[in-house]
Structures are given as structure tokens and as C-alpha cells.
Amino acid sequence: MNNDKQMRPFEQEFYAPKPTPFSLHMRVNPIWQLVRFLVLNIKMLIMVRKH
Amino acid sequence: MAKLLILGSGVAGQTAALHAKRKLGSKHDIIVVSPNSMYNWIPSNIWVGIGAMKKEQVIFPLAPVYKKQNIEFHQAKALSIFPEGDTSSSKPFVEIEYTDPSKLGQRIKIHYDYLINATGPKLNFPATKGLGPDGGFSYSVCTANHAEHANHGFQELIQQMKKGDKKKILVGTGHGTATCQGAAFEYIMNLEFMLRRHRVRDKAEITWLSNEFEVGDLGMGSMHIKKGGYITNTKTFTESIFTERNINWITRSHVTEVEKGKVHYENLNGEFKEIDFDFSMLLPPFAGAGMKAYDKNNADITSELFAPSGFMKVDADYTPKKYEDWKASDWPKYYNNPKYPNIFAAGIAFAPPHAISKPQFSPNGTPIFPAPPRTGMPSGTMARIIVYNIVDMIKGLEDRPVRGASMAKMGAACLASVGKSVLDGSAASMTVFPIVPDWERFPETGRDLNFTTGEVGLAGHWIKYLLHFGFMYKAKANPFWFIIPE
Ligand SMILES: Cc1cc2nc3c(=O)[nH]c(=O)nc-3n(C[C@H](O)[C@H](O)[C@H](O)COP(=O)(O)OP(=O)(O)OC[C@H]3O[C@@H](n4cnc5c(N)ncnc54)[C@H](O)[C@@H]3O)c2cc1C
């Protein structure tokens, strides 16, 4: 990850939101991701059911 | 006994063939014509292209599946459609030419009562000089062979980086009107992930080059999602992912030529620029399969069945309109041809009424905006709905299609892999409803914000990985395949 990389002011990346270490952790935290796994599957099923 | 002829055995064709067989049983004939002996689950080509999967894992032979299902299969390509028959018979037919090595080049006629054109895209590499792996200078992941070839190049690159060489990598679209930005996005993210795995990320300068007005457009005019107390756009979402992974981006660009190690492009300001690369994967624009059509007197009626792009004309509103006048109702519902209503087109093969992204032209008049994507979920869904309508007509329950499958009323789920690993991989999981924005129903953003969502995380990767097996299982028509949704 380049989260700690020094930002170059006024370059492209200067204006983009960057995930905090907490967000990065939650993206791979197995317990939270299991919850998201269930939620995402439900969301996708709703999408499928809409047709 | 009715004859249903299906051209193509990709996502749409295979879905149509299996559902038709399930619904019609052996009382009616289902015939599939497709030039390739293998099925390819195209989304997983991304993983073949970075060496995370073998080509053999994303393909399987079609003939045994059709044999098991009692579906007639011709390994051949459709050349021309005769919707009124010819001088000898008024029964409509398609002329096909075998690609099956045992009958190579032989031509026959196949009659039909209903026809589904699911021939997908022709990869139009010649639209850009020097584009593509066959005689050009860039790689592609559009077919399993292309992806395997791209991986060879990628592995060589990694070896050179391990020796300390610095490399420039370019990924995106190879033409101003290309589509499938989502696939290129997955490739750049997976490639970046692999470079980190090989501990050579610091040796690579990675750049995204695309025809999108802004990153995150994805040919869908971008999407709005609720995030962190804001209604934000996929531009922000994508810029964030690129920044996090230290990927630069160049948008609003039409690649004019690819040379060895150099891409020439024109941007929306009308400037002509160039960028060097050591490795590039650029997607081609798509065209229709290039079939012809003739009436009963053998007069060419190709323009009645097909748009100039080669995609099939269906029940869409093709009246040229300004972007401001585009409506959700322009999009087709039943996917049959107005003049020959027993001919349907599913998946990429149908001609969209217009783009979804706003048309943009450079001062030199060059169109630089994505064509509309038709991804796996809508391709499969429309194929299934087309089949249900045909089945109802064959059974005499209806005399015309009644179930609609408009992309302006349909949602889609899209899982864009951004790193393949069960423990620290990730995917951008997006749902969008509807696919084509409906500004009358949803004046704020064109879409339903309750069902248009996006997030990044490991769970998305798990689902994407499971879907690979699920969709391969389904395409093989293994027991209870029909439980797996499109
Ligand atoms: C690299 C890549 C990654 C992708 N990833 C995703 C993803 O993650 N999720 C997603 O939803 N979508 C993804 N897509 C898009 C998805 O692959 C397409 O939406 C889908 O394949 C379209 O299905 P189709 O049946 O219309 O076309 P195809 O799947 O391309 O099938 C076309 C079929 O027609 C056959 N054919 C061609 N010419 C003829 C002819 N003359 N006569 C008879 N048959 C013919 C072909 O051999 C093929 O069998 C990706 C696309 C690419 C290129």
C-alpha cells in the first residue's frame, strides 16, 4: 500500500480521498468481511430478483 | 415441432440454450452454432492474464455438454441470415460455415422458426493501427488465448524487474469508442497486486489510459453512491483506489496508433500526445460479428437487420437524438427485430440505441467516449427472458413477446477484482439500478440510490472467486445448474 507515501501537492493524487489505516484494516478483517459477504450476497440476490 | 436456432455459445448463447432445453424438453429442436469448440468464462481471463489461473481453468469443451443436453451443436460460424428463405423455400434459414476441423470450410443451411443472435463482439483491433496481440504491439485479455499470451509477457516483465529494471506499464482502452472499461480496470488492479506480491512494485510506473471523460465512468456515465455521509460519484471512488495503489491516470483519450513501446493518442482538447511503455494491455473497440442478410430474391437487406456497427437492430428507438433528449424508453424491451419479429439478439449482439456516457468530440471531430457495456448479468438475464418469451409463443400461450428485459429497468451486480488472494485479496463490489440511468424516475442521479452501491473489500473477492466456479458449473449444465442466477 502507498498510504504512507508522501503526497505530491497539486498532482492528481493530492485531490483524491485516501482510505485511513482503519478502513484498510476493515477491508481485510475476516469477521467484518464475513458480515459484508452476507450483505453483498443479499444485495445481489435482490438485484437478481428485480428481474 | 419448432426449431430454435441459437448463434453463439458465450454468456448469452449458453444461457439461452440451456434454459430453452429445460423449458422445451425434447418436443422441439434446439440448435447451437458457434465457431469455437470451447466455452470461455471470460471474466476470469483477467486472472489468466496475470498468471493467477491457468487457461485450462477458464475453458471447457462445449460438445460433451450439448451431447448430454441433447442439443444439436455445429462448430461453425454463421455467415448470413435469410429471414424470408430463398427462391427454393420460404422457410427462414441461416447459412453457416464449419470451423470444425473435420468439415472445415463446408457450408450448409440451417432452417429455423425462431432465431437468437448471441454472437457477442468482434474484437475490432484493426480500428487502431498497431493495436492488439496479432501483429500489433499491445496485449489483450479478451480471449483465453490472448490472456495466456499477456501473462507470458507479464511474467517476462516481472523477471526483468527482479533484475532491477524499471518498467512502464500502460493499461486501458485502445480506441476512443472502446467499451469494457471495467475489465481493463480489473486488469490494472490485479497486475498491480501481483507486482507487490513479487516485491517489484517499486520498479513499475503504472498508468491508466482511457476514453472515459472521468475515471469511474465505465461506459455507464459513472454512478452515484452513498458514502461517508455524502452522495459521491464513482470518479471519486476510482481516483481513491488508483491513488491508494499509486496508479496515474490519463482520461479523455483516443489511441490513434500503437508502436513498439509507444502509444500515440489524441485527447478531447484536440492535442496529439504520446506515451512510452514496456508492457501494455489495451482493449479494442467492439463491432458486431459481421453477418449479412438477404431477402427471398437474394437482395442484400443487411442494413435492415444490422446497424452499421454490425450489431443487430431490435425494438430500440434508433432515432438520432441529442444527449439531453435520451430516454430510458429508447432501450429495447424484447430484443426482436421489428421487421422479422422471430429474430432476437441477446447480450453484446444487439445494437444499443445510443451510448450511456455523454458523447464527446475533440475539436478535430474525433469521438472520444465509451460505447455502452453489456456485461454478463444483463446478457444472461436478457437471454433467459428472450427464451421465456419464445417458449410461450412456441407453446401457443402468447402470440408475441410479453416479458420485458430493458437495461433501463434492470439492475446489475459487478464485482471488479482488485487482487486475487483469499486472505488479503479484494474486489470493488458494485450494484447498479437501473443499468441505464432513468432521469424521469430518478431525477437526482438517474439511478436508485438504495440499490446503487459500491465498496471495496475481501468479501467481494470471495464472491467473485465463488462465482467463477458457480458460472463454470452452470455453463456445464451440471445438476441443478438453473438454481444459479444469471
Ligand atoms: C476481459 C473481460 C472481462 C470481463 N469481466 C466481466 C465481469 O467481471 N463481469 C461481467 O459481468 N462481465 C464481464 N465482462 C463482459 C462479459 O464477458 C460479456 O458481457 C459477455 O461475455 C457477453 O456475452 P455474449 O454472449 O454477448 O458474448 P460472448 O460471451 O463474447 O459470446 C459470443 C459467442 O458468439 C460466438 N460467435 C462469434 N461470431 C459468431 C458467428 N459468426 N456465428 C456463430 N457464433 C459466433 C463466439 O464464439 C461466442 O461463443 C468481461 C469482458 C472481458 C473482455
Complex prediction ipTM: 0.88
- pLDDT single digits (tens) B182-233: 999 999 999 999 999 999 999 999 999 999 999 999 999 999 999 889 999 9
Region B366-377: what's the mean pLDDT?
96
DSSP string, A5-47: SPP-TTSGGGGS----HHHHHHHH-HHHHHHHHHHHHHHHHHH
Between chain A and chain B, how many beta carbons pairs sit less than 8 Å apart? 90
At residue B259, the pLDDT reads: 98
Tell which of A25, A44, A46 to mutate to test the B interface (max B CBs under 10 Å): A44
At residue A48, the pLDDT reads: 79
Q: Residues B32, B72: contact at Cβ < 8 Å? A: yes
Indicate whether B122 pLDDT > 70. yes
Q: Residues B94, B51: contact at Cβ < 8 Å? A: no
Domain range B3-122+288-394, CATH class: alpha beta
At residue A6, the pLDDT reads: 64
Indicate whether A42 pLDDT > 60. yes
**Measuring CA to CA, which residue among B278, B280, B275 is closest to residue B265?**
B275
Record: contact A16-B239, CB cut-off 8 A: yes
At residue A1, the pLDDT reads: 42
Q: Where are the alpha helices (DSSP H) in B70-143?
A: none
High-pLDDT (> 90) share of chain B, %: 96
Residue to mutate, B119, B139, B291, B292, ligand 1, most ligand atoms under 8 Å from C-beta: B119
Confidence of residue B419 (pLDDT cuts 50, 70, 90): confident
Q: Where are the alpha helices (DSSP H) in B232-375?
A: 234-244, 302-305
CA of B269 to the centre of ligand 1 (A): 33
At residue A12, the pLDDT reads: 86
Q: Which atom of ligand 1 is nearest to the CA of B416?
A: 8
Cis ω for the linkage preceding A30 (within 30 of 0): no
Amino acid at B230: Y
- Residue B248 CA to residue B147 CA, distance in Å, equals 23
Measured in degrees and rounded to the nearest 5, phi and psi for residue B400 equal -155, 165
HEC string of B385-441 equals HHHHHHHHHHCCCCCCCCCCCCCCCCCEEEEEEEECCCCCCEEEEEEECCCCCCCCC
Cell numbers 489461473 correspond to what residue? B53
- Residue B418 CA to residue B458 CA, distance in Å, equals 10
Confidence of residue A3 (pLDDT cuts 50, 70, 90): very low
Record: contact A33-B249, CB cut-off 8 A: no
Mean pLDDT of chain B: 97
**Nearest chain B Cα to A28, which residue?**
B458
Output the CA torsion sign for B308, B313, B318, B323: negative
- Residue B59 CA to residue B80 CA, distance in Å, equals 28
For chain B, the domains span 3-122+288-394
- pLDDT single digits (tens) A8-36: 788 888 899 999 999 999 999 999 999 99
Strands B59-61 and B253-259: unpaired
CA of B418 to the centre of ligand 1 (A): 21
SS3 B175: coil
CA of B120 to the centre of ligand 1 (A): 5
Q: Residues B476, B65: contact at Cβ < 8 Å? A: yes
Burial B201-218 (b: 16+ CB within 10 A, else e): bebbebbbbbbbbbbbbb
Indicate whether A2 pLDDT > 70. no
At residue B471, the pLDDT reads: 97
Q: Which residue has the higher pLDDT, B418 or B302?
A: B302
Q: How many CA atoms lie within 13 A of B444 on its CB side?
A: 11
Confidence of residue B449 (pLDDT cuts 50, 70, 90): very high
Region B361-388: what's the mean pLDDT?
97
- B466 interface with A at CB cutoff 8 Å: no
- Residue B164 CA to residue B187 CA, distance in Å, equals 23
- B478 interface with A at CB cutoff 8 Å: no
Indicate whether B323 pLDDT > 50. yes
Indicate whether B33 pLDDT > 60. yes
Nearest Cβ partner of B424 from A16, A28, A36?
A28
Residues of A with CB under 8 A from a CB of B: 1-3, 5, 12-13, 15-19, 26-28, 30, 32-34, 36-37, 40-41, 43-48, 50-51
High-pLDDT (> 70) share of chain B, %: 100
> Is there an atom of ligand 1 within 6 Å of B78 CB?
yes
Within 10 Å of residue B284's Cβ, how many Cβ atoms?
26
Confidence of residue B417 (pLDDT cuts 50, 70, 90): confident
- In total, chain A counts a number of residues equal to 51
At residue A5, the pLDDT reads: 58
**Nearest chain B Cα to A41, which residue?**
B463
> Angle, to 10 degrees, between the axis of helix A21-28 and the axis of helix A30-49?
70
Residue to mutate, B5, B18, B33, B42, ligand 1, most ligand atoms under 8 Å from C-beta: B42
Beta bridge partners of B230: B227
